[in-house]
Amino acid sequence: MNAKQTAQHSRIAVVTGAGSGIGRSVAVELLRAGWSVALAGRRTQTLEGTAALAPEGTGGASIAVRTDVSRPDDVAALFAATVDRFGRVDLLFNNAGTFGPGGVPVEELPYDAWRHVVDTNLNGAFLCAQAAYRQMKEQDPQGGRIINNGSISAHTPRPHSVAYTATKHALTGLTKSLSLDGRPYGIAVGQIDIGNAATDMTARMETGALQANGEVAPEPVMDVADVARTVRHMAELPLAANVQFATVLATAMPYVGRG
């Protein structure tokens, strides 16, 4: 099956940060639903591990593309590989991100650490969205969808999280701007803000996380599969409909009333 034939039989997604956590869960959910998925991440081995989790015979194909989203050349190569293999891009799940060094007071945060978080969470999200936008604008049929992975931290911070929180607030502005600018071309852009999905990155939540009052307390988590199903719902809406912002969180986590 050539690229054009593939595009006619399966919707095409790019998932960044697809080697673990939320990105892995979303990629597998899409593959199970028959999407073809370009798996992007820094480690090819973990991307191949994600691909292996999808059951055979679902109709979705995948490619693993080693990508550092903070590098423009890597992002350009990712989208070129996706279009070469599948013919188009219908969805970008803009998921790659990093917390940076945890628990570091703002006055002690090294500039290099700040820059790494900004380069990954904000600059990387912009570069991927820009590449997706260019492709979606030019392809036939025109259009597609971008879903940015925000965070509860796009609404309110945790202690000692200045870099992560700043980038996630900025991501909300990116989402709004892209959503407005994409209207003439059938490009729908939304954001999912996630709180305490159970992944390796959030394992410490169950043992104890620093609260705004200075206490350390365990926090509830939720199944990451619930996040993946929400992203799939957003992704499979017709382009005439859009979930602009969705918040999915462990019901009893300290968010409403945090602080």
**Residue appearing with tokens 């570069």:** 127
Distance set, CA 148 to CA 45, 191, 193, 241 (Å): 24, 5, 9, 16
The answer for 211, left when phi > 0, alpha when psi is -120 to 50, beta otherwise, is beta
Contact between 84 and 4 (Cβ < 8 Å): no
188: its two tokens: 């729908």
Q: Which residues participate in catalysis according to the annotation?
A: 164
Please count the helices (runs of H) and the strands (runs of E) in the chain. Answer: 9, 9
Tell me the torsion sign for CA atoms 148, 150, 154, 155: positive
Q: How many residues does the chain have?
A: 259
Q: Give which of 9, 27, 14, 31 is closest to 91, Cα–Cα.
A: 14
200: its two tokens: 């390796």
Distance CA 242, CA 85 (A): 27
Distance CA 49, CA 178 (A): 32
Measured from the Cβ of residue 4, the count of other Cβ atoms closer than 10 Å reads 10
Query: Starting from the edge strand earliest in sequence, which strands make up the sheet with 245-249, in order?
Result: 62-66, 36-41, 12-16, 91-94, 144-149, 187-195, 245-249
